[in-house]
Amino acid sequence: MARIAFIGLGNMGGGMAANLAKAGHDVRAFDLSAEALARAKSAGCLPAESAAATIEDAEAVITMLPAGRHVEQVYEEAVFGNAAKTALLIDCSTIEVATARRLAEAAAAKGLTAVDAPVSGGIGAANAGTLTFMVGGSAAAFERAEVFLADMGKAVIHAGGNGAGQAAKICNNMILGATMIATCEAFVLARKLGLDPQKFFDIASVSSGQSWSMTTYAPVPGVGPETPADHDYQGGFAAALMLKDLRLAMDAAASVDADTPMGAKAAELYQRFVDMGEAGRDFSGIIRMLEKGEK
């Protein structure tokens, strides 16, 4: 079993670090939040006093931080100066493609190997060890990362070179944001046309309108499998995080001159939903905004 440094023990990182400890690894963990650190300790991790203190002799340094600037800061202040040349740096946070590439280059310049490995699946999947990892890095680095990531997920996929994991993540979530809105507006229109939502679900979920947003995450209470819609749109994937991913996608699209009008519209609508004070609401709750007909 390996010695692993784990930095960032929030909603996602807490469960991920716990699963590594459960798999028998020696997990040295750090978070700025004392509460998160205490939770990691009770889950079998060894709490450290600083990010730097987790790194000594670590075979893998895993980060699960809010955004690119946090990863950059932790890498520059704690990781680059302390990691052994044999250590593999694995960033699981969702960050800018460009930042992931820049950090991988900075790591390489110091003789270190880095991969980006963002995840699909929410807090439930992080706790259950059923995340999907999309990994950007060399084939050799992927093989090394896979060993650790497999203890936290159900699928580990090599997306391509550095940054490809982040590219896959934001492109996937751009589809998700747009299809959720399309699904919500179809349910609203169906109801206004006098169609029973359950009937519409029965039809669309086996017709060409089918998507994950329809079949697995239906945004209407009492329709389809149990989803956040059945719990007043609490839990699930917060609208603020969907907006974060859509903004990353829009910035990335602008940087390569890609035309993404549906993604842009989705970002605009999620911005409006968040501005209504719904940042913490599950992203499927945007159906309420559409029902109200907010323009």
CA 12, CA 119: separation in Å to the nearest integer?
A: 10
Among positions 218-237, residues that touch ligand NAD (CB under 6 A) are 237
CA 169, CA 95: separation in Å to the nearest integer?
A: 9
For ligand NAD, the closer CB: 29 or 223: 29
User: Which residue has the closest beta carbon to ligand NAD?
Assistant: 10
Which of 4, 5, 6, 9 is in the footprint of ligand NAD by CB under 6 A? 9
Among positions 97-126, residues that touch ligand NAD (CB under 6 A) are 119, 122-123
Which of 4, 13, 75, 184 is in the footprint of ligand NAD by CB under 6 A? 13
For ligand NAD, the closer CB: 120 or 188: 120
For ligand NAD, the closer CB: 126 or 188: 126
CA 173, CA 244: separation in Å to the nearest integer?
A: 10
Fill in the amino acid letter for 38. Answer: A
Catalytic residue ranges: 169
256's CB contacts (< 8 A; 6+ apart) are none
Q: Would you state the structure tokens that stand for residue 170, as one six-digit string?
A: 């934001």
CA 140, CA 174: separation in Å to the nearest integer?
A: 29
* Residue 70 engages ligand NAD in binding (rule: CB under 6 A): yes
Min dist CB 155 to ligand NAD, Å, is 14
Angle between helical axes of 97-109 and 164-192 (0-180°, round to 10)? 170
For ligand NAD, the closer CB: 94 or 227: 94
242's CB contacts (< 8 A; 6+ apart) are 173, 176, 177, 180, 270, 283
Applying CB under 6 A, the site for ligand NAD has a residue count of: 27
Residues at the interface with ligand NAD (CB under 6 A): 7-13, 30-33, 36, 51, 64-66, 70, 73-74, 93-94, 119, 122-123, 237, 241, 244
